[in-house]
Amino acid sequence: MKVYVPSQLHSYTGKVKSVEAAGATLDEALRDLDRRYPGLRFRIINEQDRVRDHIRIFVNGEQTCDIAMPLQPKDEVQIVGALSGGSEISTDSQMTVYVLAKRMAGGLRPLVTTALLS
């Protein structure tokens, strides 16, 4: 299956934006990637085997936190990392933006955009 890796993790994949993975579940696919790109899984999954708070995972465009989710070889997995900042909003706030881009003919088009203020 194809896995899209966020730019924050490109240092693990040699600056490659998408990679192939194998596995019957999301966890198996992430472990497969970790064998080829050591340390990658730890940046996505925490010590309690949960998706880290600043990461979102989408399988075929649907968000999931279930690493036991079954996968098919033709599935597409997007790993999305949070971007944060706050100087333009206020010195006390932080804005976190999640953007998921879906590959479309002729380029990328935004599919999901969510802003959270804390």
**Ramachandran sector of residue 17 (left: φ over 0; alpha: ψ -120 to 50; beta: rest):** alpha
Structure-block tokens of residue 98: 């999640």
Residue of 98, 92, 88 lying closest to 52 (CA atoms): 98
Tens digits of per-residue pLDDT, 59-111?
A: 999 999 999 999 999 999 999 987 654 444 433 333 334 444 444 334 444 44
Task: Give yes or no for a contact between 61 and 102, defined as CB atoms under 8 angstroms apart.
Answer: yes
- The reply to whether CATH 2.60.120.380 applies to domain 2-117 is no
The pTM of this model reads 0.71
pLDDT computed for residue 81 by the predictor: 87
**Domain limits, the chain:** 2-117
pLDDT computed for residue 31 by the predictor: 98
Structure-block tokens of residue 51: 């998706």
Tens digits of per-residue pLDDT, 13-62?
A: 999 999 999 999 999 999 999 999 999 999 999 999 999 998 999 999 99
3-state DSSP call for residue 25? strand
